[in-house]
Amino acid sequence: MTNLNNSSLLEIVNLIKSKKVSSLEITKHFIKNIEKSKKLNSFITTCFEESLKKAKDFDEKKNFDGLLSGVPLAIKDLFCTKNVKTTAGSKILENFIPTYESTVSNNLWSEGAILLGKLNCDEFAMGSSNETSFFGNTINPIGKDLVPGGSSGGSASALAANLTPATIGTDTGGSIRQPASFTGTVGLKPTYGLCSRWGIVAFASSLDQAGPMTKNVKDCALLLEAMSGYDEKDSTSINKKKEKYSKNLSEKIKGLKIGIPKEYRVENMPKEIDILWKKGIDILKKSGAKIVDISLPHTKYALPTYYIVAPAEASSNLARYDGVKYGYRSKKGKNLIEMYENTRGEAFGDEVKRRILIGTYVLSSGYYDAYYLKAQKVRKLIKNDFDKCFKNVDAILTPSTPSSAFKIGEKTNDPISMYLNDIFTVPVNLAGIPAISIPAGQDKQGHPLGLQLITNTLDEQKILNIALAMEKSIAFKQSIDRWWE
Amino acid sequence: MSIDKNQVKKVAKLSRISLDDSKLESLSKDLASILNFVEQLNKLDTKKIEPLTSVVNKTLDPRKDKINDGEIKNEILKNSPEKNEDFFIVPKVVE
Amino acid sequence: MEKDKFDYYIKTEKNSWEIIIGLEVHAQVISNSKLFSGSSTKFGGKPNTQVSLVDSAFPGMLPVINQYCIEQAIKTGLGLNAKINLHSIFDRKNYFYADLPAGYQISQYKNPIVGEGIVTLDMPYGTKKVGIERLHLEQDAGKSIHDLSPDNTFVDLNRSGVALMEIVSKPDLRSPDEVNSYVKKLRSIMRYLGTCDGNMQEGSLRADVNVSVRKKGEKKFGTRCEIKNVNSIKFMEMAIDSEAKRQIELLESGKVIEQETRLFDTKKNETRSMRSKEEAHDYRYFPDPDLLPLKIEQSFVDSLKKKLPELPDQKKDRFIKKFKLSPYEANVLVSEIGISKYFEEVIKNADIKLAKNWIIVELFAVLNEKNLDIKDSPVLPKNLASLINSITTGEISGKIAKKVFEIMVETGDEPLKIIKEKGLKQQSDPKELEKIVIKVLENNSDKVSEFRSGKEKLLGFFVGEIMKASSGKANPGLVNDILKKKLKK
């Protein structure tokens, strides 16, 4: 049998379609991997019994119409899954079993995929290291003491460790791209509105966007095709025809103009990242693209803007976790108000509390204009920067992160240093445009590093094409010795 | 502008989050440093800038006035930590 | 109209005080489904059966706006002669409460769907224009039930998410009477438009009342208090009176008014402070990121405008011009859409002058006494028309008509049937009448002599006797003619 651990999503799809391997065999393979991966702590919930049943069903019915026919997948525990516990990494949803399925995950099942389980993440997707999860931190397969990044840390870890052939995450400020970069995988944050937000536990509604996390660019195109699409249940969903990203994938990028923004050259950035960035530029040049120096002057204001907008929206989005309709309720408290306070005090973690408090503060009377309104104005400036650049260039190339995966516990005591990790990923969320992180090389310690491509709204095909061309030239290899098994 | 312990308590009250007194000190420090960080924005002149409210270049798509939801009482109440056959139950509200 | 002048001042030993009132009326939009979800808005359903995952704020649920609710708000705006804002925004109003599942209410704050407008009131002292500040769409909350258990509150979310229009007036009202008239006028306009049923018992219409006082002649407004959630017009009037008196007492004893929210205790007839010991409300409004700006095309507004029904003010003008009604009569007949419909139905086939009198005097008396809405009137419009026609054709007299009407009220029968069955038809045969006249004159020969010798007042006596003899059925005109002829002889 083929070594499934080296197989990409597309290869698995083809193995099943060509009937070389059954869905049940594949599912069993991944279940075996998952069972041996306790040390990574990348799963919060598994549903193997159900997965095996579905795989058997699939093998009996042999309906190969779907893009993901018979493929088992684990997904971030932020997507509500019908009859399968959904926690968002929080104690407050520890026992929450949705009676409904998120649109995006449902799209995957409609394409024939089978749920393996729910992947660990930072609590309510608030974090850059997966250390804020109530269910414990996830380990990066690259190294025992490394964080996988966050918030889709469980997704990145499971993908890199071959516990799932591909996965989906959500990206509010870099939560797909940063963990992809930390684990040597591919992660795409689509245009805001391309994937429905319906049924995804909300963090910051104007920034949240689901996206694919895969081993390579072709898989990424395939998974994006499967998960995206207009949803009338989400008012911010973009109403357009479904694209065939996979079929239209092409590595011909000759003549495209790629912008290099000077503002992404930050102080104290490791030299390796700069070298890698230059390598990326060279590859693009060799592929026939034109390199243009550009300026995104408000880049440095993106992170402060984000840390007003996202907490503000979060403070309101998380008000529904009050111990009344679902989730944890404190036993303490004589009256309703005390019940609320104790429930939320006991069941939210420190980072979530910090963000709710900041968000409440910046929206409160007397501070709204100085913080929230100001941030929305700067957000406009940031978006204007991109709009202006995309009049002249097809895409922008930057590093994905200012460092490789850091050590567990290294940044937990200093929120700002943790936040700074998202410095390159956040501007894109503020502007609502797509960006992809692809593995581009390693630092001195052998930890993977990613490069980020950014395009204009709805230019997902273009971003995938450029990424494919780069991926081919980079020929990234990361050997992982499965030390956890 | 910065935030002191009393303000943190006030905001916590508004957010309905009980705080351990032992954690108040460090939390206030964290919040102050975050606020200090975001206050970089004050360097920018934004007088003439319209705030951005959505990155999606479209307006609301309304739905038709049809009843196609509801009648799922059991589903609605199923996850509630305290309920009876018909209602959510909460501790007495005191005004 | 000149007879009355506005004079609603509260007079104390020292001063004369003017009351300043502004209203925030919450009107439930008539729609099948809720503002942002597809569950039913029907009143009186079993607890938590008209609730969707959106209404109960499950994780990941998103609002999608109801087109018809937008239409209803625009129509109402047009009915209030108000500016329709082609661009409006939905905001979140954040606060925690058991019956607010999301921890915020979706409302409109800085950019409401409807801007300034005007409502005209007909007061005994002339017309009064009341400014509308704005109208916005928002969600209703659920219901907290406090009296089913001593330790717990029960929550029913059936109302959660039902569309409300909040209509904010300018502080233009000056008396409980004006408030009464204003609320009735608003209700009437919305009922004409079919945008709110105005049913106060079911909570479809309720108001927060802002009250302040100032000395007569003063220009500056005093500090106001807001009386929350008053759900009947009578209670609004009572609450205003008692709140104004409370404020005056405070001011006259040298104290200051604190701006605050108060509740009206209907049993004690007084307002009391709602201020909890907790922190003051800070709603932290911000644009709802789950919703995009609402854009309305002018052409859409225009098309709704074209389809707008005739509204009370227009109808009143038409009634005065076309039917020669007095402004008072017109006002009464247009005050409720049901009444105006009834009136127009009756006058399709009957004399206008008689119709308006019969409706305003006789029918209203019956409806009042039986506490009935005009749509439940036991006398159908076509039957009233037929009764009026019996009068104009001389089939029955006005007096008999009242008798017939009484029977119609009790039985709901057609007047012609009643007249026939009870033999109430007017006696109009001159020969028959002549016989009666002659008989009456014969029986009262002494009175005849007196009459002929100049005591002409006796004519009334003879008429009365003749009517008696005919059981009231004699045609009074004919009787008069015949009687005069006979008496001359």
Q: What is the pLDDT of residues B3-44, one digit of tens each?
A: 899 999 999 999 999 999 999 999 999 999 999 999 999 999
What is the C-alpha to C-alpha distance for residues C342 and C131, in angstroms, rounded to an integer?
A: 31
Among chain A, residues having any CB pair with chain C shorter than 8 Å are: 80, 86, 88, 93, 96, 98-100, 102, 197-202, 204-206, 232-236, 312-313, 315-316, 318-320, 322, 324-326, 336-337, 340, 360, 363-365, 368, 372
Domain boundaries, chain C: 9-304, 310-422, 430-488
* Res. A264: pLDDT tops 70: yes
Residue matched to tokens 């599942």: C101
pLDDT of residue A385: 98
Give every CB contact of residue A482 below 8 A, 6+ residues apart in sequence: A141, A161
| Domain region containing B25 | 5-43
So what's the pLDDT on residue C429?
85
pLDDT at residue A18, rounded to an integer: 95
Using CA atoms, how far apart are residues A428 and A439, in angstroms rounded to an integer? 19
Containing H/E element for A102? none
Res C430 pLDDT > 90: no
Copy the structure tokens of residue A127. Answer: 């974090």
Please report the pLDDT score of residue C471 as a whole number. Answer: 83
CA angle B67, B68, B72 (to 5 degrees): 110
Choose the catalytic residue: A151, A155, A246, A400. Answer: A151
pLDDT of residue C484: 87
Q: How far is CA C285 from CA A172, C43, C99, in A?
A: 22, 30, 19
What would you report as the CA-atom Rg of chain C, rounded to the nearest whole angstrom? 30
DSSP A137: P
Q: At what angle do helices C312-323 and C337-346 cross, to 10 degrees?
A: 30
Tokens 């059991």 map to which residue?
B74
Across the range C125-153, mean pLDDT stands at 95
Q: Which of A157, A161, A210, A207 is nearest to A188 (CA)?
A: A210
Q: Name, in order, each residue with C-beta under 8 angstroms of B22's C-beta and a sequence gap of 6 or more.
A: none
Q: How many domains does chain B have?
A: 1
For A211, the token pair is 């996206």
CA C419/CA C244 separation, integer angstroms: 56
Give percent of chain A with pLDDT exceeding 90: 96
Q: Which amino acid is at C292?
A: L
Among residues A204, A205, A188, A196, which one has the least CA distance to residue A229? Answer: A196
Question: pLDDT digit string (tens) for A134-183?
Answer: 999 999 999 999 999 999 999 999 999 999 999 999 999 999 999 999 99
Question: C424 and C463 in contact (C-beta within 8 Å)?
Answer: no
- The DSSP bridge pattern shows strands A257-261 and A290-294 to be parallel
Which pLDDT band holds residue C7 (cuts at 50, 70, 90)?
confident
B69 touches chain C (CB under 8 A): yes
Using one digit for the tens of pLDDT, what is the confidence trace for A208-250? 999 999 999 999 999 999 999 999 999 999 999 999 999 999 9
- Tokens 């204003």 belong to C182
Is A151 one of the catalytic residues?
yes
Beta bridge partners of C281: none
Instruction: Provide, as residue numbers in chain C, all residues whose Cβ is less than 8 Å from the Cβ of A326.
Output: 58-59
The angle subtended at Cα C9 by Cα C5 and Cα C11, nearest 5°, is 130
Q: Residue A406 phi/psi, 5° resolution?
A: -95, 175
- Mean pLDDT across C353-376: 94
Cβ pair C77, C118 in contact under 8 A: no
Closest of A204, A213, A221, A207 to residue A182, by C-alpha: A213
Task: Note whether C32 and B65 are within 8 A (CB).
Answer: yes
- pLDDT (average), residues C199-210: 95
Q: Give me the catalytic one of A23, A54, A69, A76.
A: A76
**Is pLDDT above 50 for B55?**
yes
Q: Which residues contact C321 (CB under 8 A, 6 or more apart)?
A: none
Burial bucket for residue C447 (CB in 10 Å: 0-12, 13-18, 19+) = middle
Instruction: Provide the pLDDT for residue C277.
Output: 43
Report pLDDT for C276: 56
Give the H/E segment covering residue C227.
strand C225-230
Nearest-CA distance B11 → chain C (Å):
10
Contacts of C47 in chain B (CB under 8 A): 73, 86-87
Would you state the pLDDT for residue A380? 97
Cβ atoms of residues C189 and C79 within 8 Å: yes
Mean per-residue pLDDT, C278-299 = 90
pLDDT level of residue C456 (50, 70, 90 thresholds): confident
What average pLDDT does this structure show over A129-133?
97
Q: Indicate the SS3 state at residue A115.
A: strand
Q: What is the structure's pLDDT at B84? A: 96
Got the DSSP string for C93-104? Answer: EE--BTTBTTSE
Residues 111-150 of chain A with CB under 8 A from chain B are none
Question: Token digits for A324?
Answer: 């009344």
> What pLDDT score was predicted for residue A58?
97
Weakest-pLDDT range from A454-458, C99-103, C186-190, C426-430: C426-430
Residue given tokens 């919060």 in the structure block: A44
Strands C225-230 and C261-265: parallel
In sequence order, the 6+-apart residues with CB closer than 8 A to the CB of A479 are: none
Is A235 close to C57, i.e. CB distance below 8 A? no
The CATH code of the domain at A4-256+461-474 is: 3.90.1300.10
Q: Tens digits of per-residue pLDDT, A31-86? A: 999 999 999 999 999 999 999 999 999 999 989 999 999 999 999 999 999 999 99
pLDDT range class, residue B92, cuts 50, 70, 90: confident
- Region of B29 (left: φ > 0; alpha: ψ -120 to 50; beta: rest) is alpha
Q: Known catalytic residue: A175? A: yes
Give the burial string for C287-297 (b: 16+ CB within 10 Å, else e): bbbbbbebebe
pLDDT over threshold 70, residue A1: no
What percent of chain A shows pLDDT beyond 70?
100
- Interval A331-342 mean pLDDT: 94
Neighbours of B3 (CB within 10 A): 23
pLDDT at position C2 = 45
pLDDT at C1 over 80: no
Residue B36 lies in a domain: yes
Q: Which A residues 170-189 touch B at CB under 8 Å?
A: none
Residue A388 to chain B, least CA–CA distance (Å): 15
Average the pLDDT over C247-258 and give the result: 95
Report whether pLDDT(C25) > 60: yes
Residue C397 confidence class, pLDDT cut points 50, 70, 90: confident
Please report the pLDDT score of residue A67 as a whole number: 97
- pLDDT beyond 90 at C424: no
Listed in sequence order, the residues at least 6 apart from C68 whose beta carbon sits closer than 8 Å to its beta carbon are B64, B65, C31, C32
Mean pLDDT of A330-339: 93
Q: What is the mean pLDDT of residues A93-104?
A: 98
Tokens of A46: 């598994």
Size of interface B-C (CB pairs under 8 A): 131
C139 sits in which H/E element? strand C126-139
Residue C33 to residue B65, Cβ atoms within 8 A: yes
pLDDT, one tens digit per residue, over A390-404 is: 999 999 999 999 999
Q: What is the mean pLDDT of residues C158-162?
A: 98
Structure tokens at A350: 């420190």
Topology, domain C430-488 = Arc Repressor Mutant, subunit A (1.10.10)
Q: Kindly report whether the peptide bond that precedes residue A151 is cis, defined as omega within 30 degrees of 0.
A: yes
Tell which residue, C58, C251, C224, C37, has the closest CA to residue C140. C37
Alpha-carbon distance of C320 to A101, in angstroms, equals 62
Contact call for residues C77 and C85 (beta carbons, < 8 A) = no
Rounded average pLDDT over C43-54: 97
Q: What is the CA radius of gyration of chain B?
A: 22
Considering chain C, what is the average pLDDT of its residues? 93
Task: Estimate to the nearest angstrom the gap between the alpha carbon of C11 and the chain centroid.
Answer: 30
Please compute, for residue B47, the number of CA atoms within 13 A of its CA located in the half-sphere on the CB side. Answer: 1
Confirm whether the ipTM is greater than 0.85.
yes
Give the 3-state secondary structure of C380-434.
CHHHHHHHHHHHHCCCCCHHHHHHHHHHHHHHCCCHHHHHHHHCCCCECCHHHHH
Mean pLDDT of chain A: 96
Contacts of A300 (CB under 8 A, 6+ apart): A263, B40
State how far the alpha carbon of C399 is from the alpha carbons of A239, A469, C473, in Å: 72, 101, 9
Q: What is the pLDDT of residue C278?
A: 46
What average pLDDT does the segment A340-344 reach? 98
In a domain, B49, yes or no: no
**Chains adjacent to C (≥3 CB pairs closer than 8 angstroms):** A, B
C96 at interface of A, judged by CB pairs closer than 8 A: yes
A83 by Cβ neighbours in 10 Å (0-12 / 13-18 / 19+) ranks as: exposed
Mean pLDDT across C342-349: 95
